[in-house]
Amino acid sequence: MTYQILEVDLDDPRAAMLRGVLDDDLGRRYGPLNQDEPADVTAARIEALRVTPAQVVATWIAVLDETAVGHVMLRRLGTEWELKRLIVTPGARGRGIGRALSERVIKRAREEGANRVILQTGKPQPESIALYEDLGFTSIPVYEPYRATMPNSLCFALPLVQDPLTAS
């Protein structure tokens, strides 16, 4: 069974459905870590994670047997380019879909002139961390808007532009 990667509008119902699947998954993974936090911290964390339509450069979904099984976005975060909201449904994992979606983000960011792609994740997502490291992402300090409300985040960057003085 092969899958297709499709670029879709942010409000595509399949993309919205997959973001809901991701929200449920992240709630299970991170909920216990956030259960005792004050309401104002929760509200600030939700705001830090919010993606506005104006920030989104592109949204992709993966379709397998006419079913949407994967999602990712590329967003502009100030002067940075961020891989955001990557999800592959459990039944579709292990087929290279997460890698293919991530590679779409990287390719588009490179085409648009980005110097690097950044992302934010956490220890409860070990399979994501392994994918990002395998793609060449390396650890960076926690960046805004996550620093204040998610200081234990794991953040990564993938350089896209080589310095001509150091390129061989």
pLDDT, tens digit, for every residue of 85-97? 999 999 999 999 9
- Asked if residue 89 lies in contact with residue 34, where contact means CB atoms within 8 angstroms, the answer is no
pLDDT, tens digit, for every residue of 47-65? 888 899 999 999 999 999 9
Q: Give 84-139 as a DSSP string.
A: EEEEE-GGGTTSSHHHHHHHHHHHHHHHTT-SEEEEEE-TT-HHHHHHHHHTT-EE
Work out the percent of the chain whose per-residue pLDDT is above 90.
73
Look at 25-34, 82-91, 141-150 and tell me which has the smallest mean pLDDT: 25-34
Place 164 in a pLDDT band, splitting at 50, 70 and 90. low
Q: For the chain, give the number of residues.
A: 168
For residue 168, pLDDT over 50 is answered with no
Look at 10-14, 47-51, 69-73, 149-153 and tell me which has the smallest mean pLDDT: 47-51
Look at 36-45, 105-114, 127-136 and tell me which has the smallest mean pLDDT: 36-45
The per-residue pLDDT for 33 is 62
The per-residue pLDDT for 15 is 97
Radius of gyration of the chain (CA): 16
Q: Is 68 helix (H, G, I), strand (E, B) or coil?
A: strand
Could you give the CA distance from residue 110 to residue 81 in angstroms, rounded to a whole number? 10
Domain 3-159 has CATH 3.40.718.10: no
